[in-house]
Amino acid sequence: MPLKKIILSSIIISLLACNKSVTNLPELQNTGVKKYTNTDINTWIYDNMKAYYLWSDNLPAITSTNTASNPMDYFYSILYNYHITDRFSWIDSSSTNLINQLNGINTVLGIRVNAFYTDDAKVNIALVIAYVLKGSPAEKNGLKRGDIIMSVDDQTITSSNYTTVLQNQTLKLGLGSYSNKVFSSTGKSITVTKTELQTNPILQDTVINWSGKKVGYLAYLQFLTSFDDSLRAVFGRYKAKGVNELIIDLRYNGGGYVSNSDLLTTLIVKDLASKVDKVINKKMYNNAYTQEIVKQYGTSALVTNFKSEPNNIGSLDRVFILTSTGTASASELIINNLKPFMNVILIGEHTYGKNVGSFTITDDLKRWNYGLQPITFKILNSLDQSDYGTVNGFLPDYALTDDILPYKLLGDPTETYLNKALTIIGPTAFKPNATSGAASLSRANKLANSSLSDNSIQDKFDMFDKPLKQKK
Same-domain pairing of 235 and 279: yes
The CATH number for 156's domain is: 2.30.42.10
The CATH number linked to 249 is 3.90.226.10
| Beta-bridge partners for 192 | 171
Same-domain pairing of 286 and 406: yes
Domain end, chosen from 142, 175, 198, is at 198
Q: Note whether residue 35 is domain-resident.
A: no
- Cβ atoms < 10 Å from Cβ of 223: 34
CA dihedral of residues 10, 11, 12, 16 (deg, nearest 10): -100
Same domain for 185 and 206, yes or no, is no
Asked if residue 25 has pLDDT above 50, the reply is no
* Structure confidence by residue, pLDDT tens digits, 88-113: 999 999 888 888 888 888 999 999 99
Nearest to 344 by CA among 235, 270, 238: 270
DSSP class per residue in 146-169: T-EEEEETTEE-BTTTTTTTT-SS
Q: pLDDT digit string (tens) for 328-382?
A: 999 999 999 999 999 999 999 999 999 999 999 999 999 999 999 999 999 999 9
> Who's near 411: CB < 8 A, 6+ residues apart?
204, 205, 206, 208, 217, 219, 418
Residue 189 carries which side chain, given as an amino acid letter? S
464 neighbors 224 (Cβ within 8 angstroms): no
Phi, psi of 347 (to 5 degrees): -125, 125
Q: What is the pLDDT of residue 400?
A: 95
Q: Does residue 342 sit within a domain? A: yes
Q: Report the pLDDT averaged over residues 4-16.
A: 29
Question: Does the global pTM surpass 0.85?
Answer: yes
Number of structural domains (the chain) is 2
Burial class (CB in 10 A: 0-12, 13-18, 19+), 439: exposed
Q: Is residue 4 part of a domain?
A: no
